[in-house]
Amino acid sequence: MNSPLSLDADQAHGRLGELTVIDVRTPGEYASGHLPGALNVPLDRLHRALPVLGNARAELLLVCRSGARSANACALLAEHGVPAATLTGGTGAWAERGHELHRPATGTRAGWSMERQVRFTAGTVVLAGLGLGLLHPAWQLLSAGVAGGLVFSALTDTCGMAALLARLPHNRPRPADLDATLAELEERVS
């Protein structure tokens, strides 16, 4: 697989006005701070936006927290003949360079980043396995399973636990929100 075209934070900042920015994080992560003008289409819902993205006239820039999910999104779009670039280092690199992150108006609850949710869940399951292991040693296999999953995640740069957590209701856009985002995206790319 070819690596997607990438822009660093300063390159993207200089070209922001000519890019259509798609943030592929969960709605909660998006609410915690996103690039100015970015639209939120979570990675697991990107297939719904394919028809609109395929008609984009402006160059697409896909963004996530670190760049890993946006690189996966670029690969998915490339499979469908839609060129896109990824933001190297994601919103973390953007903020480190001193560029502004937009946050929704007050009243919108910002959620934990996916990485934080994975760390919390993995730690909780490991502690539960160790605690239950005091009752019966077989429960320690739960902790071993999580440890194996973390090693596999690091080796493959994928995360099954993140994929599962992304499906929880607090990490999914309401259908009306996604429909509104796709309508706005269609207006921008046409």
Name the H helices within the chain: 9-14, 27-31, 46-53, 68-79, 90-96, 114-133, 140-156, 160-165, 175-189
For residues 56 and 67, give the distance between their C-alpha atoms in angstroms, rounded to a whole number: 21
pLDDT at 1: 46
pLDDT at 165: 87
CB 30 within 8 A of CB 23: yes
Residue with tokens 């999914």: 172
For residues 142 and 56, give the distance between their C-alpha atoms in angstroms, rounded to a whole number: 46
> Which of 66, 50, 58, 62 minimizes the C-alpha distance to 24?
62
The single-letter DSSP state of residue 107 is: T
- Summarize pLDDT for 137-187 with one digit per residue, the tens: 999 999 999 999 999 988 887 888 988 888 888 777 666 577 888 888 888
| DSSP states along 55-76 | T--SEEEEE-SSSHHHHHHHHH
For residues 1 and 169, give the distance between their C-alpha atoms in angstroms, rounded to a whole number: 32
On whether the pTM is more than 0.85, the answer is: no
pLDDT digits (tens), the chain, 190 positions = 456 689 999 999 999 989 999 999 988 788 888 999 999 999 988 998 998 898 887 899 999 988 889 999 999 999 999 999 999 999 999 999 999 998 876 445 556 777 888 999 999 999 999 999 999 999 999 999 999 999 998 888 788 898 888 888 877 766 657 788 888 888 877 6
CA 48 to each of CA 6, 43, 156: distance values in angstroms, whole numbers, following the listed order: 23, 10, 26
pLDDT at 179: 82
pLDDT at 10: 95
Compute the mean pLDDT over every residue in the chain, rounded to the nearest whole number: 87
pLDDT at 110: 58
Helices 140-156 and 114-133, packing angle to 10 deg: 150
